[in-house]
Amino acid sequence: MAVAHARAWWLVALLAVPAVLAGLALPWAGPPSSAAPLAMPATAPSTTSPTAAAPVVVTDPAPAEPPDPTAADLAQVLAAHPIRFTADSAALTGPAADTARRVGELLAAGPAVPVLVEGHVADTPGGPDAVQRLSDQRAAVVAEALVAAGVPAERITARGAGAIRPLATVEESRRVEITVG
């Protein structure tokens, strides 16, 4: 009975302490950023004849810039057809070459935003230098394909990431990722 009573107090403490801490943090949170007090000018009663009120001009805030459709299209193409390589190779062939060409066409037609091409490797024999060299080569070959599709070379940064961010399988990890912005 005493053990059950002690457990109940721990449960109460476990629930009460975060609630108290959250309550203490509320005064420092400040007002929401969209809550601005409205200043109403004080008007004195008029003894003269009424005149036409000045028109009130209400302007809508500038619309937010829509997201770049190129980035969304790029993500969709790369999700459906990732750019992958065979083991120990930087040769861009088959579906990977088709995807690189399609991505290049999208980027060439879109706004002039910077493009990052990042090569990745997995299960590559040799030391860190060999891993880095292969990831650099993969990034470079895809960057060349983007330039061939019409993307200006000065917009592209190609770099190898080595094997630092592996995916679920070795095959998926042998890849190039392309990001814009």
Q: Is residue 131 part of a domain?
A: yes
Mean pLDDT of 36-64: 56
pLDDT exceeds 80 at position 34: no
- If one compares 7 and 122, the residue with the highest pLDDT of the two is 122
pLDDT exceeds 60 at position 175: yes
Q: What is the pTM of this model?
A: 0.62
Q: Is residue 3 part of a domain?
A: no
pLDDT exceeds 70 at position 65: no
Q: Which amino acid is at 21?
A: L
CATH assignment of the domain containing 109: 3.30.1330.60
- If one compares 123 and 75, the residue with the highest pLDDT of the two is 75
Whole-number pLDDT of residue 70? 74
Q: Is residue 158 part of a domain?
A: yes
Q: Is residue 12 part of a domain?
A: no
Q: Which domain holds residue 81?
A: 69-180
Q: Is residue 84 part of a domain?
A: yes
- What tokens does 63 get? 């619309």
Those residues whose C-beta lies under 8 Å from the C-beta of residue 92, and which sit 6 or more positions away, are 83, 85, 100, 141, 142, 145
Q: Is residue 29 part of a domain?
A: no
Q: Is residue 94 part of a domain?
A: yes
Candidates 116, 120, 121, 129; CA nearest to 158 is 116
Percent of the chain beyond pLDDT 70? 62
> Number of folded domains in the chain?
1
Whole-number pLDDT of residue 59? 59
Q: For all residues of the chain together, what is the average pLDDT?
A: 79
Mean pLDDT of 23-27: 51
Mean pLDDT of 157-177: 94
Mean pLDDT of 21-30: 51
Mean pLDDT of 125-132: 90
pLDDT exceeds 60 at position 42: no
Mean pLDDT of 67-77: 80
Those residues whose C-beta lies under 8 Å from the C-beta of residue 74, and which sit 6 or more positions away, are 103, 106, 107, 178, 180
Q: Binning pLDDT at 50, 70 and 90, where does residue 48 land? A: low
- If one compares 69 and 163, the residue with the highest pLDDT of the two is 163
Q: Is residue 176 part of a domain?
A: yes
